[in-house]
Amino acid sequence: MNTAEHELKNLIQLGESLTLEFKSDVKSLPDRNLIAVVVSLANTDGGTLLLGIEDNGKVTGLHTSHRDISNRIF
């Protein structure tokens, strides 16, 4: 396990908080919902959004529509 994977695992084990948010992406979370979460975090103390993680910490991964954002227009 590399350092980044180890850090992610530790974050997931901490669970959600005011500065750590998990969002499921099994059904492709709409962009407006992603933006709302980022704005909410920015308007408080900042934080981290982990997309593809269920509320219980289970890693379910990214929907195919979010795997390559290089050609997306927001």
Please state, in angstroms and as integers, the Cα–Cα distance from residue 64 to each residue in 2, 69, 71, following that order. 24, 10, 13
* Residue ranges of domains in the chain: 3-66
pLDDT (tens place) for every residue of the chain, 74 residues total: 799 999 999 999 999 999 999 999 999 999 899 999 999 999 998 999 999 999 999 999 999 888 887 766 65
Q: Give the pTM.
A: 0.83
